[in-house]
A and B are shown apart, each in its own frame.
Chain A
């Protein structure tokens, strides 16, 4: 028999899910990012039009999501490295809260800069 979602309903599993999903989405974003930068090879005007295109409100909102994904993935990764490489203490939940806090702060800071 297999477990269902009820067995997974705890913070460390959610942290895993956030780390995995953010990682996958960032993997999808990277080629798009390089593609946009690659437009510069076609000249200054082409890059400029691509940059103007990114000024749309939807893309701007997407940037906030991107920063949140990056912050979540980095904070989650640092959390895992600390859990695995530093001497163990019963700090897993504190580390989790710290990683979540860092993510929100990074996203918030980016958002406020936009306004």
Chain B
């Protein structure tokens, strides 16, 4: 089989799949396929990428119906017959073709108090955090997020409730809740509690299933559920 049949979403919210024929190559990634289409077949195709090595989180798309990082997804892993279907990430507005608008996704990180709140000044000693402390281990489990939006696009709760903060923002909040240097624990727990926060999660675990970095936002959300309950019982939120 030397040719791939590739169906690519063209348009904005309204649009259609357009079919292209792309030469099949060894070790070809889905991003290679999209790049070939843009460079050789139709220069008006819009898509987004930067690093090509799974660090930047720019190139996530929906491939054969599942959100994936396209730069590290080999065609071999996902092809069905000789066909690939490539669309923009779901649960986000479409700017053009394969480019989804990530604004709301990142705004929710801010709404979940995803910013570190320092408690020390530059005149203080370095904080000492033992690598084997339980808090540090919780942080390690979630800190490698590259912000690609795959979890957010895979989450049905986001589809059902557009205000829901989503797995990535809640995972970020959980890493900060476990940061012993941070000074806004209770404010953050207050920000992630409620209908649009961690309690809305239905534990479908699609985020955990699809995360390309093998992070489990479900674990973070379960931690937040326990922490918010504890803070509520203690009268802190």
Q: Counting CB contacts under 8 A, is A34 at the interface?
A: no
Known: A1-B90, A7-B90. A13 touches B218 (CB 8 A): no
User: Interface 1/0s, chain B 65-95, versus A by CB < 8 A?
Assistant: 1110000000000000000000111111010
A80 and B210 alpha carbons, distance in the complex (Å): 20
| Beta-carbon contact of B66 and A13 below 8 Å | no
| Beta-carbon contact of A3 and B65 below 8 Å | yes
A27 and B49 alpha carbons, distance in the complex (Å): 49
Q: Which residues 63-94 in A have Cβ within 8 Å of B in the complex?
A: 80, 83-85, 88, 90, 92
Q: Counting CB contacts under 8 A, is A33 at the interface?
A: no
Residues of B within 8 A of A80 (CB): 203
Minimum CB–CB distance from B64 to chain A (whole Å) comes to 7
Known: A7-B67, A13-B205, A13-B206. A88 touches B216 (CB 8 A): yes
> Which of B109-117, B179-187, B221-229 has 4 or more CB atoms under 8 Å from chain A?
B221-229
> Which of B118-126, B153-161, B188-196 has 4 or more CB atoms under 8 Å from chain A?
B153-161
* A residues contacting the other copy or chain, number (CB 8 A): 19
Residues of A within 8 A of B210 (CB): 7
User: Interface 1/0s, chain A 1-22, versus B by CB < 8 A?
Assistant: 1111111101011001000000
Option from A1, A4, A8, A90 in Cβ contact (under 8 Å) with B206: A8
| Beta-carbon contact of B153 and A83 below 8 Å | no
| Beta-carbon contact of A84 and B90 below 8 Å | no
A62 and B11 alpha carbons, distance in the complex (Å): 50
Closest to B158 in A: A3
Residues of A within 8 A of B89 (CB): 1
Residues of A within 8 A of B209 (CB): 10, 12-13
Q: What residues make up the interface of A, taking CB atoms closer than 8 Å to B?
A: 1-8, 10, 12-13, 16, 80, 83-85, 88, 90, 92
Q: What residues make up the interface of B, taking CB atoms closer than 8 Å to A?
A: 9, 13, 62, 64-67, 87-92, 94, 153-154, 156, 159, 202-206, 208-210, 216, 218-219, 222-223, 225-226
Known: A1-B94, A3-B90, A92-B205. 14 other contacts (CB 8 A): A1-B92, A2-B91, A3-B62, A3-B156, A7-B67, A7-B210, A10-B206, A12-B203, A12-B206, A16-B202, A83-B222, A84-B203, A84-B222, A88-B222
